[in-house]
Amino acid sequence: MFVHQLMRKFIIPLVLGSTLTIKQTLAETIPAKAYVVLVHGIFQKGYSFLPMQKKLQAQGFDCLIPSLKPADARSGIDVLAQQLDREINAKWGDNAEVHIVAHSMGGLVSRYYLQELGGAKKCKTLITLATPHHGTNAAYCYPGTGAIQMRPGSEFLQNLEKTSNRLQGIRILSYRTPLDLIILPSTSSHWDLAENHRIWVPAHPLVMHAPRVQREIIATLQSATSAAGQIVR
């Protein structure tokens, strides 16, 4: 009888209390998963990022590679950004901390999402690859709202420039190749807000597949997620 009372009054509460303390400690110390969004460019689909996705997943990152439609952005880059917003929220919820890697037009889609749709509040890293931050003359060769928005001096680009202060707190990198025949001039990918990198590859789509670029992307994301205490392995 004495042993039974002792168990009820002291030992069981002590064990339960210790268990709760352990659970609370684990909840406080286990970091969140590291989320990376890979945003494709014009005329592409999500599979264009499959090689990079495999490398990132091998390092422990959880990746999202949406296929935004229409891929030629004929209905507008802002429409694609709204899709991107829905895709991110559907996969990870409204409050997940994300890192974005975007190729070509995907960089402008990402900027609209960050600057105009509130995405900046949960993004820690933005890496753009051959993105026409200042437009491209090649956009004059194609119809549609998205192409018009990518023409140098467009109202769309001017508005993005006006709200670029909303990107404060996000680490930004921009890669370009001087041999780019899609981003004309190639210096349009140079962005004053970014850490700018020049890579010598012979074509626009190869920027995202260059071994050096992929190594540096992984290193950048590992550094960012490690500093935030997120799981990357």
Instruction: Report d(CA 148, CA 217) in Å as an integer.
Output: 30
Q: How many CB atoms lie within 10 A of CB 71?
A: 17
Q: What per-residue confidence (pLDDT) applies to 32?
A: 58
**Hey, what long-range contacts does 79-85 have (CB within 8 A, 24 or more apart)?**
80/109, 80/146, 81/109, 81/110, 81/112, 81/113, 81/116, 81/117, 82/117, 84/37, 84/39, 84/109, 84/110, 84/113, 85/113, 85/117, 85/119
pLDDT tens string, the chain, 233 residues long: the values are 544 554 566 454 444 454 444 344 333 433 457 999 999 999 999 999 999 999 999 999 999 999 999 999 999 999 999 999 999 999 999 999 999 999 999 999 999 999 999 999 999 999 999 999 999 999 999 999 999 999 999 999 999 999 999 999 999 999 999 999 999 999 999 999 999 999 999 999 999 999 999 999 999 999 998 876 665 55
Q: How far is CA 194 from CA 2, 31, 175, in A?
A: 72, 28, 9
Residues 6+ apart with CB under 8 A from 218: 55, 56, 59
